[in-house]
């Protein structure tokens, strides 16, 4: 059994992302309900680990808050101040679909710090790998504004921390959230010292981002890899993309640390995406990334939680990821998978393969 760090804090569940109907503000014919980015599926994930006994096997690590200097590794000083002021008032948008509730500044700072804490623990050898169950998420956040429920870009700040404060040179960020990691792409688009790979649903949020031909610029050209997938790609398509693109580009780059933006919204029950990944799919993707980390960087692998909006299914997908990080099986079968007997998630369809091959031909010689 490997030693897996787990970073979480009760305050993460207290961030108020505002009211909404899926991703729209309520009003008119839209009856008010909680935001899709609610704490419920994250708390249920933690609860499931406690119920199964997995939680007791983890190394619990208390997160430390990011400093303002660390936030400024990516974000502008003006934007940080704007989030502070919004947090004092509460219920203020700091970007598209990015609500700051009362007291959310301190929580977002601790979320960024939670991912830093995970990187610090893994790089310094306190644990083999780590999962940071942070909230609010981060991968859409841009330097001067929030976006898509994200306030500060947790993975970007943690990658900079690994380089500036821990002395690493080559970091890989793999984003398997169903939505493109536009903020993370912006941060490293001209930087050859961070390999950014985003595998996501084509033409989802944000619009006009995540295209195959967005490959970086200047010295960073070729170090930005987008793998947009057709809706319904499912387990076999994702695994084919890993085999054809993610494994070879990782082997070529040889990172010293791998950070995964672990958004579980590509799951087959998610209301904000249509990618059809199962619990087993997440297990196999995690196994591949863990083995790549073991080959190239002594197992230094950090997962930081991003999206995922099915309160019923996200906990099982995330639980399976942590099981694979630890190297244990708690004997929990997917309770929902029978609903998709005979569905196409276990088939590599020709049009899905063709889309992946297009990205492969560009990035893998």
**Residues 265, 308: Cα–Cα separation, whole Å:** 4
Q: Answer yes or no: 140 catalytic.
A: yes
Out of 139, 140, 214, 319, the active site residue is 140
Of 14, 220, 255, 266, the C-alpha closest to 119 is: 255
Task: Decide: 152 and 141 in contact? Cβ < 8 Å.
Answer: yes
Q: What is the CA radius of gyration of the chain?
A: 19
DSSP code per residue over 135-197: SS--TT-BTTBEETTBSS-HHHHHHHHHHHTT----EEEEE-SSS--HHHHHHHTT-TTEEEE
**Residues 148, 150: Cα–Cα separation, whole Å:** 5
User: What are φ and ψ of residue 252, in 5° steps?
Assistant: -70, -40
Helix/strand/coil for 364: coil
| Cis preceding linkage at 215, omega within 30 | no
DSSP 340: G
Of 131, 150, 157, the C-alpha closest to 15 is: 150
DSSP 344: G
Task: Decide: 266 and 273 in contact? Cβ < 8 Å.
Answer: yes
Q: In terms of DSSP H, where are the helices of the chain?
A: 40-52, 68-71, 77-89, 104-123, 154-164, 182-188, 234-241, 247-253, 279-297, 314-326, 350-363
Q: Parallel, antiparallel, or unpaired: how do β-strands 92-93 and 4-7 relate?
A: unpaired
Catalogue the active-site residues: 140
């Amino acid at each position: 059994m490997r030693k897996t760090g787990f970073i979480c804090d009760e305050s993460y569940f207290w961030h108020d992302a505002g009211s909404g109907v899926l991703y729209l503000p309520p009003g008119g014919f839209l009856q008010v309900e909680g935001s899709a980015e609610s704490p419920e599926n994250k708390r249920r994930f933690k609860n499931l680990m406690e119920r199964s006994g997995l939680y007791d096997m983890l190394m619990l690590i208390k997160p430390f808050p990011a400093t303002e200097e660390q936030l400024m590794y990516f974000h502008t000083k003006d934007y940080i101040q704007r989030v502070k002021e919004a947090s004092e008032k509460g219920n203020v948008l700091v970007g598209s679909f990015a609500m700051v509730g009362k007291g959310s500044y301190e929580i977002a700072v601790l979320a960024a710090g939670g991912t830093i804490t995970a990187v610090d623990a893994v790089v310094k050898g306190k644990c083999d790998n780590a999962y940071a169950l942070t909230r609010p998420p981060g991968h859409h956040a841009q330097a001067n504004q929030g976006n898509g429920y994200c306030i500060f870009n947790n993975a970007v700040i943690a990658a900079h921390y690994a380089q500036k404060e821990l002395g690493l040179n080559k970091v890989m960020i793999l984003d398997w959230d169903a939505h493109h990691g536009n903020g993370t792409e912006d941060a490293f688009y001209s930087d050859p010292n961070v390999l950014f790979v985003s595998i996501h649903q084509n033409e989802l949020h944000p619009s006009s981002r995540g295209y195959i031909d967005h490959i970086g610029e200047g010295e960073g050209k070729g170090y930005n890899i987008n793998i947009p997938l057709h809706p319904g790609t499912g387990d076999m398509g994702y695994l084919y993309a890993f085999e054809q693109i993610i494994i070879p580009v990782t082997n070529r780059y040889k990172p010293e640390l791998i950070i995964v933006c672990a958004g579980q919204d590509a799951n087959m029950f998610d209301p904000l995406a249509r990618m059809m990944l199962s619990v087993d799919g997440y297990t196999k993707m995690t196994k591949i990334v863990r083995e790549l980390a073991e080959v190239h960087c002594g197992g230094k692998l950090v997962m930081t939680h991003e999206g995922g909006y099915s309160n019923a299914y996200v906990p099982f997908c995330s639980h399976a990821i942590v099981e694979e990080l630890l190297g244990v099986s708690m004997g929990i079968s997917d309770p929902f998978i029978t609903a998709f007997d005979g569905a196409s998630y276990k088939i590599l369809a020709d049009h899905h393969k063709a889309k992946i091959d297009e990205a492969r031909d560009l990035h893998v010689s």
